[in-house]
């Protein structure tokens, strides 16, 4: 696969998290210049940067409240000033506020919708005009298997993740002739720190039996899919929702 990474600038939202870290590091290994965003509430961002530097990887990092349109606009303008035009956007940032609908408050709903769905508009709006002007761009939106099949206690999360693909399909139609692709990926259970912290008994009896391949996905497998979607070979793939869930949900 020919990677056209040279001089391409990628922005990965939530790029310091479990999956975000794998995406960021794999893209850097492939030769992309990578900017990561992190929540302004993250007090360990400098430690992450130092850890990455000790592994030989240097990232630019910016605190961005992806739920706040004005903050996204200001920070993307700063990234362009500091690093150059943004060629690739990976909308990866997300949160959960899991509970049954009976217990869910309006704040629980709004917070998830703003962070997981509004963020796709807030960030993509800042980069799309430039991509169109340059006749090249990649937007990859990270959804979830639970946006496809639903999940108990996740009406807010499932709705937001399902909405991401509607956003993807409509935008892909608008920009398809301008060299810009827009795609969704929908991971299943991935072996991030959050998932592997689940008690082993629950993993073995509740989660793994749902996955036909019999294991958790690897974060680097998801990152590899994103690398493909950024490549020239993926120029004919747009408006797609690619499942990467070990066969847990097929449709």
What is the domain range of residue 100? 9-244
What pLDDT, in 10s, does the model give residues 151-173?
999 999 999 999 999 999 999 99
Query: Is there a domain that residue 82 lies in?
Result: yes
* Phi, psi values for residue 187, rounded to 5°: -70, 155
What pLDDT, in 10s, does the model give residues 53-83?
999 999 999 999 999 999 999 999 999 999 9
What pLDDT, in 10s, does the model give residues 7-61?
899 999 999 988 999 999 999 999 999 999 999 999 999 999 999 999 999 999 9
Looking at residue 6, its pLDDT comes to 66
Which among 62, 157, 228, 251 is annotated as catalytic? 157
Looking at residue 200, its pLDDT comes to 87
CA–CA dist 94, 219 (Å, integer) = 16
Q: How confident is the model at residue 214 (pLDDT cuts 50, 70, 90)?
A: very high
Looking at residue 1, its pLDDT comes to 42
Query: Is there a domain that residue 226 lies in?
Result: yes
Whether the CB-CB separation of 128 and 83 falls below 8 Å is answered with no
Query: Is there a domain that residue 76 lies in?
Result: yes
Query: Is there a domain that residue 94 lies in?
Result: yes
Query: Is there a domain that residue 57 lies in?
Result: yes
CA distances from 95 to 30, 153, 209 (A): 28, 14, 25
Count structural domains, the chain. 1
* 157 is annotated as an active-site residue: yes
Query: Is there a domain that residue 195 lies in?
Result: yes
Query: Is there a domain that residue 71 lies in?
Result: yes
Please state the separation of Cα 75 from the chain's center in Å: 18
What's the rounded mean pLDDT across residues 99-107?
A: 97
Q: What is the pTM of this model?
A: 0.94
Neighbour-count burial of 75, counting CB atoms closer than 10 A to its CB (0-12 exposed, 13-18 middle, 19+ buried): buried
Looking at residue 236, its pLDDT comes to 98
Write the CATH number for 238: 3.40.50.720
Query: Is there a domain that residue 3 lies in?
Result: no
**Cross-strand pairs, 61:** 36
CA distances from 98 to 32, 142, 160 (A): 35, 18, 13
HEC-encoded secondary structure of the chain: CCCCCCCCEEEECCCCCHHHHHHHHHHHHCCCEEEEEECCCCCCHHHHHHHHHHCCCCCEEEECCCCCHHHHHHHHHHHHHHHCCCCEEEECCCCCCCCCCCCCCHHHHHHHHHHHHHHHHHHHHHHHHHHHHHCCEEEEEECCHHHHHCCCCCHHHHHHHHHHHHHHHHHHHHHHHHCEEEEEEEECCECCHHHHCCCHHHHHHHHHHHCCCCCCECHHHHHHHHHHHHCHHHCCCCCCEEEECCCCCCC
Whether the CB-CB separation of 38 and 82 falls below 8 Å is answered with no
Whether the CB-CB separation of 136 and 180 falls below 8 Å is answered with yes
Share of the chain above pLDDT 70, in %: 98
């Amino acid at each position: 696969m020919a990677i056209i990474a040279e001089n391409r600038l990628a922005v990965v939202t939530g790029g310091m998290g479990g999956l975000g870290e794998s995406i960021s590091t794999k893209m850097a290994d492939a030769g992309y210049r990578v900017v990561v965003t992190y929540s302004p509430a993250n007090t360990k961002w400098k430690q992450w940067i130092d850890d990455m530097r000790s592994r030989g990887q240097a990232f630019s990092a910016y605190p961005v409240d992806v739920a706040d349109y004005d903050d996204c606009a200001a920070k993307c303008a700063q990234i362009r000033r500091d690093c150059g035009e943004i060629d690739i956007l990976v909308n990866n940032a997300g949160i959960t506020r899991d509970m049954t609908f009976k217990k869910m408050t309006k704040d629980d709903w709004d917070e998830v919708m703003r962070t997981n769905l509004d963020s796709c508009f807030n960030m993509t709006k800042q980069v799309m005009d430039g991509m169109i002007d340059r006749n090249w761009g990649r937007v990859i939106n990270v959804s979830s298997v639970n946006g496809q099949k639903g999940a108990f206690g996740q009406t807010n999360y499932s709705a937001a993740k399902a909405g991401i693909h509607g956003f993807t399909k409509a935008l892909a139609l608008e920009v398809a002739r301008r060299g810009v692709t827009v795609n969704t990926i929908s991971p299943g259970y991935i072996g991030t720190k959050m998932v592997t912290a689940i008690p082993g008994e629950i993993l073995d009896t509740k989660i793994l039996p749902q996955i036909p391949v019999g294991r958790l996905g690897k974060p680097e497998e998801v990152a590899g899919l994103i690398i493909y979607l950024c490549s020239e070979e993926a120029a004919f793939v747009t408006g797609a929702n690619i499942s990467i869930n070990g066969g847990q949900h097929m449709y």
